[in-house]
Chains A and B, each alone.
Chain A
Amino acid sequence: MSELTGLTLKAALDGLADKSFSAEEITKAHLGAIEAASALNAFVVNTPDKAVEMARASDARRAKGEAGPLDGAPLGIKDLFCTEGVESTAGSMILRGFKPVYESTVTSNLWRDGAVMLGKLNMDEFAMGSSNETSAWGPVVNPWRARGGNADLTPGGSSGGSAAAVAAELCLGATATDTGGSIRQPAAFTGTVGIKPTYGRCSRWGIVAFASSLDQAGPMARTVEDSAILLRSMSGHDPKDSTSIDAEVPDFASFCGKSVKGLRVGIPKEYRVDGMPPEIDALWEQGIAWLKEAGCEIVEVSLPHTKYALPAYYIVAPAEASSNLARYDGMRYGLRVDGANLTETYEKTRAEGFGAEVKRRILIGTYVLSAGYYDAYYLKALKVRRRIADDFDQAWRKVDALLTPTAPSAAFALGEKSDDPVAMYLNDIFTVTVNLAGLPGMSVPAGLDAQGLPLGLQLIGRNLDEGTLFSLGSAIEKAADFRAKPQKWW
């Protein structure tokens, strides 16, 4: 059983293709692993019957010679994706019991290609958080623990359920979303690979909206190649999302293992921040050395507005969120708490339905958009956003990609930062710039810290140039030879 759950997606697809095992067998192996891992709280909805039914249909397709590129692969789905007839709550009390009558485009694409759904994965409420602690359904626990310690660590957020499930071998891969770092930071904290593609690569249709100009779906997996296979299926133009890009979807996996000789890789000096643990700096240096050995040319570059990305994000994202989340009014779906009149019903519904962090961001967003503050805050942040995007455009004149750390620390303990919003926000200091500029970014596991916890390196690429990231990512993966796995305690 554990043999099947320990396979990479690629090896599993090969095994299914040569009939070493059936989709039903590998699906049931994963369902068993999920059942035994409830201590991680990674899944919020289990759909075992649906999974077995989808697996049997996959086996039938394969028997007829009609297998798709992901046929029979059991996956986990972040609870931000609407799945038809299956509860989709975005980690929020306000959507408890909500069963969409439609399927998101990204998940539809995965089922079109033959994948099997195991269940829905826990996450920070409305994807607002960096530790999974804002979920209405309780935090996910990281399968990794510090060497010799037994404290529960965060898997990161907001895609903490996706990250933990992939790391603990509860699924071959998972969908996730990234608005400010929600794929890459959890990937770094759990020793997994996560890529946020170019804004517009994956359709946002059917994904519960947080900040629409920043939200983007992407995969999490255990290898760079697996994430490439998943991204190809998830991507593609969708007329139902007006910001979906009508561009050809390349065979991303074909970029894995390609020579990176002669590629120019930029090292942005502004990412060397005060107080960064020396281990992370050392890992970054190691990453530079690996890429040099692989034949890359290393170039120091400057992204002068980096330090303003996070404060700009904390205007833009809450502003968009306050507008997007206005739809939760208790009238058409979700929670309703009755009041004496219409306004009171709205106010009580939203007070009870939203958690503290979501309310905080709605209040900030409402404040910065309110009369008298719009120009000073919102418009200012949009101008700073342009400056940040311009910094990258300057860098692309000199380099083909950038290499940075993914997060400023390894996984921290649950509860450690939950009382200080700004300290929590600083987790995304290296990842958020990419969302503001719309660029693709990938986190690759690169080593362990002194406590035995995984650390990741981030690669940033040009618009629609995920291919270069897959080549560089697999070069780092090969050099790092990262094989560590969490010791099973759950």
Chain B
Amino acid sequence: MAIDAATVRKVARLARIAEPEEKLEPLARELSGIMNWIEQLSEVDTDGVEPMTTSVAMSLPMRDDVVTEGGDPEKVLRNAPKTAKGFFIVPKVVE
């Protein structure tokens, strides 16, 4: 399955990674090379096979619905690029 530059542009947009126009063609070639190699999976008969999402054969454990930690905004904000008065500062989201 060949991936073209337009597909790379679309996927990069979905992934929120800015890719300059001149990189789209080389990336398309690279990703096509990888996807062509992956294509061999179509040889495997998987009719009726249950998809495997985890190797741990157990159901998700439940815990008591109680607050175990929190109440420390200083710690939460310590690595933030921009903060003010106990809040994250982010670019304007709604015009």
Chain A residues near B (Cβ < 8 Å): 97-101, 199-200, 213, 239, 242-243, 245, 305, 307-308, 311-312, 314-315, 322, 326, 329-336, 338-339, 341-348, 350-351, 354, 359-360, 362-364, 366-367, 370, 377, 379-387, 389, 421-422, 436-439
Contacts and interface: CB of A to CB of B under 8 A. Distances in A.
A49 to B, nearest CB: 21
Contacts of A307: 40
B4 to A, nearest CB: 12
A400 to B, nearest CB: 19
A371 to B, nearest CB: 10
Contact of B53 (A199, A213, A348): A213
Contacts of A422: 33-34, 37
Nearest to A344: B18
> Which of B11, B39, B43, B75 has the most CB atoms of chain A within a 10 A radius of its CB?
B11
B74 to A, nearest CB: 9
A132 B58 CA distance: 35
A18 B37 CA distance: 57
Contacts of A101: 75-76, 78-79
18 contacts: A101-B78, A242-B61, A243-B54, A335-B81, A336-B82, A339-B91, A341-B92, A343-B16, A347-B16, A350-B15, A359-B17, A360-B30, A364-B31, A366-B15, A370-B11, A384-B46, A422-B33, A436-B55
Q: Lowest 10 CB-CB distances: which A-B pairs, in order?
A: A438-B55, A382-B51, A333-B79, A383-B46, A336-B81, A347-B18, A386-B52, A351-B18, A346-B16, A383-B49
Contacts of A377: 38
A368 B16 CA distance: 16
A160 B47 CA distance: 40
Nearest to A320: B53
Contacts of A382: 51-53
- Main SS at interface, chain B: loop
Interface in B16-72: 16-19, 27, 30-31, 33-35, 37-44, 46, 49-56, 58, 60-61, 63
A329 B15 CA distance: 11
Given A367-B7, A387-B49, A381 B41 contact: yes
A350 B23 CA distance: 15
Given A362-B15, A363-B17, A342 B31 contact: no
Contacts of A326: 16
Contacts of A333: 79-81
Interface of B: 3, 7-8, 11-19, 27, 30-31, 33-35, 37-44, 46, 49-56, 58, 60-61, 63, 75-76, 78-82, 88, 90-93
Given A341-B92, A422-B37, A200 B56 contact: yes
A354 B17 contact: yes
Contacts of B46: 380, 383-384, 386-387
A330 B81 contact: yes
A322 B51 contact: no
> Which of A98, A335, A422, A436 has the most CB atoms of chain B within a 10 A radius of its CB?
A422
> Which of B27, B51, B92 has the most CB atoms of chain A within a 10 A radius of its CB?
B51
Given A308-B40, A370-B11, 19 more contacts: A101-B76, A101-B78, A200-B55, A200-B56, A243-B54, A305-B44, A308-B43, A311-B37, A322-B15, A330-B81, A331-B80, A333-B80, A359-B17, A363-B31, A379-B51, A382-B52, A384-B44, A385-B51, A385-B52
B55 A342 contact: no
B9 to A, nearest CB: 11
B51 A386 contact: yes
Contacts of B80: 331-333
Contacts of B55: 199-200, 213, 389, 436-439
Nearest to A388: B52
Given A239-B63, A382-B53, A384-B46, A421 B41 contact: no
A481 to B, nearest CB: 35
Contacts of B56: 199-200, 243, 245, 438
Given A242-B60, A242-B61, A389-B55, A308 B41 contact: yes
